[in-house]
A and B are shown apart, each in its own frame.
Chain A
């Protein structure tokens, strides 16, 4: 480690002699510093979130006011509608949830939380963000080729996705697939780095049970990602060959099997849900212990339930395929495994709630977001049961109930937990606080209109409304004024939800320059990142910390203060 650091310092020093432009480039664009790379991931992820949000705006407007020109977009054609729903999903999962939650916060926080000066492989880290950047360019390129972007849903089932005559997006399909594959490569590179760093670079004295839950969850997520992504990449290569080289792995008319892709895809796709969930749970764990001034209830129990959930999530994938033409007897097995996943997940949530027991809870902005996460994710969790049990999935499969359900899981994961983390670590990242009033406006606007957007979709799902249909006026049972009213209500909520992000954007950028100065440990937290100055300089710590205890020793009897940092040798 120290060797790497020396090399970096030399590099930085060497660049000081050159022109100002170059030093800016080496410091912010081609940096190997984990913090800069983390922020690069974050900014790219937030930009992509804006694009995904814009797509959502355009297609929800089409649903509410079918056929009318959408302000800022124009009339939405069916092809464009399909392109936008496909890319909204792809972007939000692969280019928002994963980069922001795992790559951005993982990069920024892992070295700080385990008390080292940088990642184990800084240059590999830079390669990861560069591949990620290329994947974005490829995705954007796919919108401008002949035929437009890919519109075969983010699940990309063949033969629709593999035969250009069916999808009518010849290069759009291939570029989309290439972009997703590149993004996965970027994450594999980054993931190797996370694991190696956590295993080898922990501060002296830090046992595995002294590692903060967030670092654990990111690493477990990375291991799960690595375990599940192989079949998907194999499938992606086969699909790409079907598209471009004329092979027929998934084409039934020439002996292939389209259902094979579904297995490969969902074998990755379901663990992927937990890949992004776990870092979010980690973020929330860090925040609720800090603001409740309480030790995390059952550190080991939480750890075991995360591992159990992760393991179980590898054998539930076919609940996405109950009615896809697989042997119906398989559905029984997958119903059992799917419903049983409620056991470890509920245990985890109970531990979080139990952490609040006997606490002294301060409702600062990060804590508000963390509580909002628990409540909304709970809704997402319980509404998964009718989908995971085969008897009711008969009806609910691919209805708006599914959409509402997974947005109640993914929105808390990718958006609410992300904001919780941003508000929590913002003082560390930029050395200043965000404005609390603007933060409150942003919080309430987001949470209220998120519910206003997705609660009605449960009703539409119960009314039998299917996904991915650009105009429900074609279906007499769904064309009633009541149901259209619900759609307009949801769309209105979405527009307000997006508008309430404006105070955040303003707050985020203006606070970097004018916000109240933050000290090193503004929240009085225990973990090691708060031992570094805010913002941490290159190399992170003035002197590398030594760890004496676990990360959650709050309100320990006999101490004067209600927190006891990991690196502090004596009583606090």
Chain B
């Protein structure tokens, strides 16, 4: 159902969509049944001259069984929904499959810094490649991401991956994804982060292996042009409030904390 609006671009996006579809069917059944009953009662028992209402207390078992029996079914439905939901959750958030590569995502008011590990596959080495608002990954590879924030809460969200995780200053939050479809998708900040929250977007591009190598070379040589920056230049609305300098103390304290928590 969700794939009507968006591609399923990661390994677990299909699972999330399936749980949603299951909820739609189960909950939709109860919704239609309840509405139909309500509509039937509303029409059947409308006021008519000479017809008196009946006297039902709803306290006797013969009466309130009509409420209780559906309830046992609802509890059963709940158990199914909870089980389906937790299975997906455990897969996405509680397990960490072995990685092929690592990226670091750093949020700050109001842009993303993405650090790619480079050819050696290790972060914090000389061949790391940093980009702004422009993330590049290879298709069918398991990525671990390290989320960090320099100032306030942000949220790294890729709707096409069905992926979302808050970023908290002072912490490094680890997670994973594996992209399955080549293409460029939105990265949105999904946690209110100040005046510029509305422009804190970026893009993630899923490449084939050859294409990925070419792009990374271009970034290293300075010949790559970011689509995202070009889009922002065409922004019809100027950002009215320019961000002033953050006091040096706050920034330094934050930096130290970032380093120490790594």
Show the binding face of A for B, using Cβ within 8 Å. Answer: 66-67, 77-82, 151-153, 155, 157-160, 163, 165-168, 252-254, 258-259, 292-301, 323-325, 328-329, 331-332, 335-336, 339-340, 342-343, 346-347, 349-351, 353-363, 371, 374-375, 378-379, 382, 385-386, 389-392, 394-395, 397-399, 459, 462-464, 466-471, 473-478, 554-557, 562
Contacts and interface: CB of A to CB of B under 8 A. Distances in A.
B130 interface: no
B203 A354 contact: no
Contacts of B168: 252, 258-259, 325
Counting chain B CB atoms within 10 Å of each CB, the highest count among A78, A463, A554 belongs to A78
B19 interface: yes
Contacts of A301: 58-59, 64, 67
B128 interface: no
Given A378-B34, A389-B82, A157 B195 contact: no
Contacts of B254: 252-253
A554 B185 CA distance: 61
A464 B81 contact: no
B170 A252 contact: yes
Contact of A252 (B20, B24, B157, B171): B171
B241 A477 contact: no
Contacts of A168: 194-195, 241, 243-244
Interface residues of B, number: 108
A394 B153 contact: no
B112 to A, nearest CB: 13
Contacts of A339: 78, 81-82, 85
B197 A378 contact: no
B16 A335 contact: no
A462 B192 contact: no
Contact of A394 (B162, B231, B232): B162
A343 B78 contact: yes
A254 B252 CA distance: 11
B5 to A, nearest CB: 4
Interface string B59-79: 100011011001100110010
A197 B24 CA distance: 45
Given A331-B93, A391-B86, A398-B190, A474 B232 contact: yes
Contacts of B243: 168
A256 to B, nearest CB: 9
A389 B19 contact: yes
A298 B53 contact: no
B103 to A, nearest CB: 18
A475 B45 contact: no
A485 B55 CA distance: 51
Contact of A395 (B164, B167, B244): B164
Interface stretch (B36-44, B138-146, B207-215): B36-44
Nearest to B247: A165
Given A168-B195, A323-B164, A361 B153 contact: no
A73 B244 CA distance: 26
Given A165-B246, A258-B168, A562-B52, A160 B194 contact: yes
B20 A392 contact: yes
A160 B188 CA distance: 18
B253 to A, nearest CB: 4
A81 to B, nearest CB: 7
B257 A252 contact: yes
5 contacts: A66-B237, A371-B42, A392-B20, A468-B198, A477-B159
Contacts of B53: 292-294, 358-360, 554-555, 562
Nearest to B1: A462
B89 A328 contact: yes
Nearest to B252: A253
Contacts of A353: 34, 37-38, 41
B19 A378 contact: no
B235 interface: yes
B75 A166 contact: no
Given A258-B168, A474-B201, A356 B20 contact: no
Contacts of B188: 464, 466, 469, 475
Contacts of B46: 360-361, 363
5 smallest beta-carbon distances between A and B, as pairs: A464-B159, A252-B170, A391-B88, A298-B58, A297-B58
A555 B235 CA distance: 66
Contacts of A390: 85-86, 88-89, 93
Interface in B83-108: 84-90, 92-94
A437 B47 CA distance: 20
Given A301-B58, A394-B92, A474-B198, A385 B164 contact: no
Contact of A298 (B59, B78, B192, B232): B59
A335 B86 contact: yes
B163 interface: yes
Given A168-B241, A353-B41, A328 B93 contact: yes
